[in-house]
Each structure stands twice: as C-alpha cells, then as structure tokens.
Amino acid sequence: MTEAGVTEPESHEAKNTGPLAGLRILDMSRILAGPFCTQLLGDMGADVIKVERPGRGDDTRSWGPPFLPGEDGKPTGESAYYLSANRNKRSAAIDMASPEGAQALREIAAQVDVVIENFKPGGLKKYGLDYATLAKINPRLVYCSISGYGQTGPHSHKPGYDILAQGYGGMMSLTGEPDGEPVKVGVGIADVMCGMYAATAILAALRHRDTTGRGQHIDIALVDTQISWLINEGVNYLLSGAAPQRRGNQHPNIVPYQVFATADGHVIVAVGNDAQFSRFCAVLGRPELARDARFATNPKRLENRGELIPLLAGLIAGRERDELLAAMEAAGIPGGPVNTVPEVFATDQVAARGMKITMPHPLSATGTVDLIGNPVNFSETPVSYRRHPPACGEHTEEILREFLGATAAPATSADGGTGPRRTRPGKGGDSRKPRE
C-alpha cells in the first residue's frame, strides 16, 4: 500500500511477493535504461505505470524483427527488444503534450512514490512535469532523471544513446583486438548499467524519504555511469598516466586470463594466482613452465606476456574443449566454455536458476512468451512475474479510473492521443495527496 492508501489491483497471473509491494512508480521513460530500471523494480513488487504515446507507444516496440508471433501467424507489434525490458508494468496511453494529458499525469504523480523519466534536460518543464513542479504537488516524491550527459555540463543538451556513451566514456577504446577498430559491447550495456545505477539510487532516495519525509531529484547520466565502470582500467590510467590499450580478450593485470582456441572450439582460462598457474602448467603437461623465472609470478607473466601466450596457445590448440575443461576443473583451475546464446539457454544451470521464464501473453500464438528471468533470489520476499509486457495503452482506462476517477476521452491530438474525462467530479490529485 502506498502513502496515499491505494492498493495495486491484484493480477490473476501471480501473487506479488516482492519487497517493494505497494510502491508506486510513474514511468515516463522509454527505450532501455529507464524501462530496464523499472522492470527490475517491478519484479521486486513495485506497481509500475508506463506512460506511452497514444497510437505509437515506446519506440522499441518497432525495433524488430523478431516480433512476437500472433494467433494468425503474423508478427504482432511487440518486438523482442520491447519484451525484454517491460514486464510487470501497466501501460497508459496518455498524450502529455495536451493540457488534459499533462494534468492527468500531474494528478497521478501526486499519488505515487517515484517518477522516472529520460527526456532531454528541461524537456518536461513545458508540460509542468518537471521535478520542481511535481515536488510542490508531492514533496515526498523521488524523481529520477536519466539523460545522456546529465542535467549539467557543456554536453547536457545532447541526446544520449548507448553507443555514444560507450564511445565518449572510453569503453570502446578498450574493447576489440589490438590492431582492430574500437568495438562496442554486444548489448546496450551502458543503458543497462545506467538502469541498474538508477534502481539503486531510487531505493536509497526512498530510504531517505522514509526517514526524513522529503523526496529528492536524482540526476543520472549514461556517460557518467559508463565512466564509473571503467573501474581498474580507469584507475590504471589515473595512477600511471599511461593510456590503456585494447587487448582483445586479454586482461590488463592478470596473465593468463583470456580465451584460447582448442581443437574443437574455444575455452576461457582465468588463472588468478601463481598456485593456479602451476597446476595449469601441469594439466598442459609442461610443469616446468611454472618454475621458469620469466613466468613464475604474475608480474613476471605480465612482463613476458608476449613469450608466454604463444607457448600456451600451442599447447591448448591440440586439446578438445570439454576434455581440457574437465581436467582444469579437477585441478581447481578457473575456466569455462564460450557458449552461444542457444547453448546458454539449453544449460542445466539456466534451468536450475530460473533464468528462462515463461509468462502468459494474450497476443501470442502459443498464449505464452519466453523471457529472461530476474537474477536476484530473495529468501523471504522473492521476485514475481505478475504481468506480461503490456500492449500500448492496455491499462489506460483502468489507471485513469483508479487515480482520477476518469475514463479515456475521444482523441484530442494529431497522433490519436487521449486525455482524461472526469466521471466523478472532485476526484483527483488533491483528494488523494500523499501524507506530508
């Protein structure tokens, strides 16, 4: 139950068992960073109200193929990209550019705990949906703004996309083969990590709100969060003054710690100390390498990487992948396969940990959709999968009735947008303000 004393309507699909049950979030974000954040919080029990443009919805709905197959065998408008970050949400198609739509969102904001948005800095002020305006209506509100470069600084006006953040923040300069071009990570990792930072920041701000009674504004940027996870490579530079170089799959501080080709595939070798290196050399049938002064310690192996790696690569190339991994595991040497995505989801580990889930979906040809599970396992308050990723505007009337006592009105904008129409005069934000 929220501060306003309103309980989220129960879904027939699953019971809400999460630690955030009763928390209400007005989600005005789209694409990936914000939606990923709110999906995490939704999995943990929060009631997430996803605001979408009427008739169009989140941009990622069209980012396909692949699309969810419908009952007629044809693709629906639900892309895999959209489905990956939008479960456990209710969708309200509200035109914030219309006065009626903006007023509806202000009245909803008066009754929720959190607002999250990822418009350009200052972009929501013209609609009266900025933090300063909403904080006057709801002083306990936690308001999280995600942007490319932050609310301040010389680049704050620029749009933010994952690949731009990876490039500007230095990650691409570290990724790829030494003689190749800079390479981005295979998924939108800057967006994902920004969403994770946003989720932890929101939870911290809620803790502060619960102890002081005051909400606050969170300003978080794709570029800032990407820079923060330069981690050791960033500090390597700050300490030494030497620019880090691309090393492919090699590690800047540990040797051997990389991918090697086998006779039938690839293995990852992650030797973390000198004792492990000694055992690894024994597994390869060359125990004397561990006693060689050039390779006996990690600093020496780092210094003589160019001599050691070709020796190891030649020994590993003649071994079969699974045989070598079994020998390494028996000797207590960290290592593993390089799985394809199909191989990942076929593993017994994925099945044991619930990392592939199946949810009901009314638009699906099979009646269900397979998704990636939440990796967090609470002992007392487990995550739950209560709501399929919603169709655009699937819950608009439900949400307007719930918060405003209103129903959807006829189209009021060029793109088919809707504003609210009151059915019970006097029922609005003022009558359901959170306690101050």
Strand, helix or coil at 150? coil
Contacts of 67 (CB under 8 A, 6+ apart): 75, 76, 77, 78, 79, 80
Write the single-letter amino acid at 418: T
Structural tokens at position 233: 């490579």
What is the C-alpha to C-alpha distance for residues 166 and 332, in angstroms, rounded to an integer? 35
Alpha helices in 216-297 (DSSP H): 222-228, 231-240, 274-283
Within 10 angstroms of residue 368's Cβ, the number of other Cβ atoms is 13
Q: Which of 72, 191, 219, 370 is catalytic?
A: 191
Omega into 256 within 30° of 0, i.e. cis?
yes
Pairing relation of β-strands 24-28 and 47-52?
parallel
Strand partners, 266: 261
What is the C-alpha to C-alpha distance for residues 158 and 151, in angstroms, rounded to an integer? 10
Structural tokens at position 54: 């009427």
Q: Which of 358, 34, 86 is nearest to 78 (CA)?
A: 86
Alpha helices in 138-221 (DSSP H): 162-168, 171-174, 189-212
Phi-psi region of 340 (alpha: psi -120 to 50; beta: other; left: phi over 0): beta
What is the C-alpha to C-alpha distance for residues 340 and 356, in angstroms, rounded to an integer? 15
- The single-letter DSSP state of residue 119 is S
What is the C-alpha to C-alpha distance for residues 128 and 134, in angstroms, rounded to an integer? 8
Tokens 């710690």 sit on residue: 257
* 117-120-126-128 Cα dihedral, nearest 10 degrees: 20
Structural tokens at position 350: 């994925």
Pairing relation of β-strands 114-117 and 24-28?
parallel
Under 8 Å between Cβ of 77 and 372: no
Q: Is 191 a catalytic residue?
A: yes
What is the C-alpha to C-alpha distance for residues 100 and 14, in angstroms, rounded to an integer? 34
Strand, helix or coil at 325? helix
Write the single-letter amino acid at 68: L
Active-site residue set:
191
